Amino acid sequence: MDIELIGRIWPFFAEAAWVTVKISILAIMLGLTLGFTAALASLSRNPVLRWPARSYVSLFRGTPALIQLFLLYFGGPQIGIHLEPFEAGVIGLGVNIGAYMCESIRGAIISVEKGQTEAGSCLGLAHHQVMSRIILPQAARMMVRPLGVNAIALIKGSAIVSTISVVELSYTAHRYISSTYKPFEMFILASVFYLAIVTIFSYGVKWVDRGVALE
């Protein structure tokens, strides 16, 4: 193990880790927004809302994230979409994880007992009131964990943006492997950062989960 080399180049990895964090957070925010909207739309009784939402989920869960990213970044210019690698990374990852998050949110909403909806509508509450005041507050507690799983998958999955030359952790690892021929050292260095990010994030999810748990 080349400790001296690691000591020399770790700051580059730290900088790259920051890019991984930024791109992940932005993509998670985009994914949550899309996932939430799509979940509500897919549960609507109106087919004009339901159908596009379900198609979105099916198409984006049914194809590799890498292909979606390439289609956006390399194919985009052909249809007039010109994006910087970082922007394409955020959008590509966010739209992809949004489809998975939609399923997590939808699952949580569906898991709220039917009796809750009945009790709400028996009081004369309107559909949207039942949703916002009775179903969603209960579903929120059940979606934290699955959304956390989605988000952690995204952090690791964000490695694919290295293929469109976003200078994040995996890109940096690859570059130094090519220049130093030290794959083990570079793997360990990058892993330390990934594990740190994932671990901190997992604690964050657990903390939120405890916060929203029923008393």
24 binds another protein (CB under 8 A): no
Site for another protein in 48-77 (CB under 8 A): 59, 62-68, 70-71, 74-77
**Contacting residue, 40, 94, 157, 166, with another protein by CB under 8 A:** 157
Cα 119 off chain centre by: 34
Query: Which one, 33 or 206, has the nearer CB to another protein?
Result: 206
CA distances for 37 relative to 109, 143, 168, 172, 178, angstroms: 13, 15, 29, 35, 43
**Based on CB atoms, which residue is closest to another protein, 37 or 121?**
121
Q: Is 28 in the site for another protein (CB under 8 A)?
A: no
DSSP state of 160: G
Q: Which residue has the tokens 């083990």?
A: 184
By CB under 8 A, residue 104 contacts another protein: no
> Binding to another protein (CB under 8 A): which residues in 174-203?
174, 177, 181-184, 186-187, 190-191, 194-195, 198-199
In sequence order, the 6+-apart residues with CB closer than 8 A to the CB of 23 are 86, 89, 90, 93, 158, 161, 166, 168
**Measured between alpha carbons, how far is 93 from 28 in angstroms, rounded to an integer?**
8
DSSP states of 53-96 as a string?
HHHHHHHHHSS-HHHHHHHHHTTGGGGT----HHHHHHHHHHHH
- Residue 35 beta carbon to another protein: minimum distance, rounded to whole angstroms: 18
206 near another protein, rule: CB under 8 A = no
Q: Which residues contact 34 (CB under 8 A, 6 or more apart)?
A: 56, 94, 95, 98, 99, 101, 102
Contacts (CB under 8 A) with another protein, residues 77-96? 77-79
> What tokens were used for 180?
């130093």
Q: Which of 129, 131, 167, 208 binds another protein (CB under 8 A)?
A: 129
Chain residues binding another protein by CB under 8 A are 45, 59, 62-68, 70-71, 74-79, 113, 115-116, 118-127, 129, 133-134, 137-138, 141, 156-160, 162-163, 169-170, 173-174, 177, 181-184, 186-187, 190-191, 194-195, 198-199, 214-215
